[in-house]
């Protein structure tokens, strides 16, 4: 993998916002800060010079600082907030989709994959009670003493329930409504069910959202409102993404890079290593809950240092691997509660 966004890389190392850059004629990268978050910023991308106005990808987290940064970045690109005709979100996490509603209030439309629209918090979490969340945590083996620290409170979700619905859907293979360039949507489920990458073949770039990042592994996890198998489609999506080997990756975090095929292969290898680690844990423990398995795995900061939401995320990621291993026939789940998994 070769770092191409050298100014972005330098800013990442210095823990500051990177500069606004024109990465191709008519294509700008605009960093938008994320308050109190180790990711620090989302890189929004603006397609300018269009007959109908600016098309913006992933406008970022909604905060006063975020609105100011986006407006300043658009100004550097020779545009204004009022020039944004449309917003395409790679996925609906608030560090990507948060500012979409603000832009629609000023005249922009919002587009996303239909599977992503189906996962908006207002659809999955509205009316969900804390008791249901506690029951989900207990079912996966969270000890009673730890449940209260992991439960998602209504207050935490309330701000997410108002995230904007789409005005139009963007399916796999669709061309974005641009007049001067051809940008095609590539459906890459895994991090979220409707995650999109965007391919501009003439410019030689693939906007990768959170699907493929240069340094970190995006979260692929099971949630109470979505008990499926997100890891299997993610691995399949990585195989497809590897076919864009000649393109420069424009991710939503960190910095631009080349070597999409190498990075995709490395991510597939990372998840293969985790699968093998889970199987070794089951060999050591015998039948175990997802919580017990998660506690036995290697985490960058160590299991004991994880607290609250971080432990919940670790549980969700462990479940994603278990569901994938069940899909391929390597493990099975028992019928008892809490659920126990075995070879």
3-class DSSP assignment, residue 262: helix
Distance CA 94, CA 312 (A): 18
Q: Cβ contacts of residue 330 below 8 Å, gap of 6+?
A: 275, 279, 343
Domains, the chain, ranges and CATH?
Answer: 2-120+163-258 (3.60.15.10), 274-343 (1.10.10.10)
CA angle 18, 44, 13 (to 5 degrees): 25
CA angle 266, 308, 226 (to 5 degrees): 65
- Token pair of 89, please? 């979100």
The pLDDT profile of the chain, 343 residues, written as one tens digit per residue, is 999 999 999 999 999 999 999 999 999 999 999 999 989 999 999 999 999 999 999 999 999 999 999 999 999 999 999 999 999 999 999 999 999 999 999 999 999 999 999 999 887 777 677 788 899 999 999 999 999 889 887 666 677 778 899 999 999 999 999 999 999 999 999 999 999 999 999 999 999 999 999 999 999 999 887 789 999 999 999 999 999 999 999 999 999 999 999 999 999 999 999 999 999 999 999 999 999 999 999 998 889 999 888 999 999 999 999 999 999 999 999 999 999 999 9
Q: Name which of 339, 246, 257, 254 is nearest 293 in CA terms.
A: 339
List Cα–Cα distances, 102 to 43, 67, 144, 162, 171, in angstroms: 17, 9, 41, 11, 24
pLDDT for the residue 135? 93
Q: How many residues does the chain have?
A: 343
pLDDT for the residue 156? 67
pLDDT for the residue 74? 98
- Token pair of 277, please? 């680690």
Distance CA 238, CA 260 (A): 9
Could you tell me whether strands 332-333 and 41-47 are parallel, antiparallel, or unpaired per DSSP bridges? unpaired
pLDDT for the residue 10? 97
Buried b (16+ CB within 10 A) or exposed e, 29-48: bbbbbbeeeeebbbbbbbbb
In this structure, how many other beta carbons lie within 10 angstroms of the beta carbon of residue 174? 17
pLDDT for the residue 102? 97
Distance CA 80, CA 77 (A): 9
Q: Name which of 123, 120, 59 is nearest 92 in CA terms.
A: 120
């Amino acid at each position: 993998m070769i770092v191409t966004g050298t100014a972005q890389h330098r800013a990442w190392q210095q823990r500051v916002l990177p500069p606004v850059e024109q990465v191709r004629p008519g294509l700008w990268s605009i960093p938008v800060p994320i308050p109190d978050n180790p990711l620090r910023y989302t890189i929004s991308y603006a397609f300018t010079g269009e007959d109908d106005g600016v098309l913006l990808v992933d406008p970022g987290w909604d905060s006063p600082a975020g609105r100011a940064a986006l407006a300043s970045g658009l100004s550097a690109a020779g545009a204004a907030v009022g020039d944004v005709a449309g917003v395409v979100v790679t996925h609906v996490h608030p560090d990507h989709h948060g500012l979409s509603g603000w832009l629609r209030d000023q005249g922009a439309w919002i587009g996303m994959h239909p599977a992503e629209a189906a996962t908006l918090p207002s659809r999955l979490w509205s009316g969900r009670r804390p008791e249901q969340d506690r029951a989900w945590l207990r079912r996966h083996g969270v000890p009673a003493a730890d449940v209260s620290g992991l439960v998602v409170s209504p207050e935490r979700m309330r701000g997410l329930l108002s995230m904007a619905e789409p005005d139009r859907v963007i399916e796999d293979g669709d061309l974005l409504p641009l007049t001067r360039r051809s940008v095609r949507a590539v459906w890459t489920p895994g991090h979220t069910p409707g995650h999109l990458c965007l391919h501009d073949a003439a410019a030689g770039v693939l906007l990768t959202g959170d699907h493929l990042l240069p340094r970190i592994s995006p979260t692929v996890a099971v949630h109470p409102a979505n008990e499926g198998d997100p890891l299997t489609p993610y691995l399949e999506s990585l195989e497809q993404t590897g076919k864009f080997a000649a393109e420069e990756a424009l991710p939503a975090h960190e910095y631009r890079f080349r070597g999409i095929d190498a990075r995709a292969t490395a991510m597939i290898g990372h998840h293969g290593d985790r699968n093998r680690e889970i199987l070794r844990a089951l060999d050591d423990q015998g039948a175990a809950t997802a919580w017990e398995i998660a506690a036995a795995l290697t985490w960058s900061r160590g299991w004991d240092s994880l607290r609250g939401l971080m432990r919940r995320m670790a549980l969700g990621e462990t479940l994603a691997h278990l569901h994938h291993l069940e899909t391929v026939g390597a493990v099975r789940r028992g019928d008892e509660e809490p659920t126990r998994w075995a070879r």
